[in-house]
Copies of this chain bind each other. A is one copy, B any other.
Amino acid sequence: MSDRLTIIKVGGNVVEEEASLKSLLKDFSRVAGSKILVHGGGKSANILSEKLGLESKKVDGRRITDAETLKVVTMVYAGLVNKSIVAGLQALGNNAIGLTGSDLDLIRAAKRPVGEIDYGYVGDIKSVNYQSLKELLDSGAVPVLAPITHDGHGQLLNTNADTIASEVAAAMCFDYEVRLIFCFEKNGVLMNEDDEKSLVNEINPELFAQLKHDGIVSGGMIPKLSDGFAALRRGVKEVVITNPAGISEGLRGTRLVLE
């Protein structure tokens, strides 16, 4: 039987508040076996941009990463957020190592082609360096991945953290029994977003299409679920969307299934 690998993705809002970050790191530090934490950056990048007087450009709700914004997200995601998590995990006895896709060439991406929209310095993932990640895990290290990649020609790129989590999960299937957990503020997919008890326990692509059609699933949840189903199709054993407390409580939340 292959080793088990747990990949947990946490959203920006969870890592930004000291109390929720502390509680998340405590829960994460107790996860046994090989594990990887993937984090977003969230509001602190926006706040820094605002303080610096940079205009936040969005098209269809997606942020445009111009050269100055790339500097800001590299500072916030790869610097402040990543190293705060690493220091916190080290204090809890986890041998964390904070990395971007440029480190050890772990995640190579290509700048998104300019079509109707020019997203700027946004990277679409081309390859995950499975071997180097495995060597780190074998040595007992706990990789903490920031949502920054590179193109191999010296250019850093802003890359969606959900996508990093699902691409890394799919790449690691080769040698591990992988479970992928998306943590965010809510209990999971909710039938009514104001009612945490309206949790959808299980979702398949058919129900996903239905809920999307009905407007019950919208916004950032759509790419998260798409990424999750893609990971399942590529061999990831288990995909769950939950809130941070869900990590320690037997993985309650919304479980993704293919049928």
Contacts and interface: CB of A to CB of B under 8 A. Distances in A.
Interface size class of A (residues with CB under 8 A): 35 or more
A86 B100 contact: yes
Contacts of A148: 83
B90 A102 contact: yes
Interface string A77-115: 111101110111011000111111011110000000000
A75 B79 contact: yes
Given A79-B76, A79-B80, A87 B156 contact: yes
A84 to B, nearest CB: 7
A139 B97 CA distance: 16
Q: Assembly of this chain: how many copies?
A: 2
Interface of A is mostly: helix
Contacts of A179: none
Minimum-distance CB pairs A-B, first 7: A79-B79, A75-B75, A91-B154, A75-B79, A87-B102, A78-B79, A87-B150
26 contacts: A71-B80, A74-B79, A74-B83, A75-B76, A75-B79, A75-B80, A78-B80, A78-B82, A79-B79, A79-B82, A83-B102, A84-B156, A86-B102, A86-B150, A87-B102, A87-B155, A87-B156, A90-B102, A90-B152, A95-B105, A96-B102, A96-B103, A97-B99, A97-B103, A98-B100, A98-B102
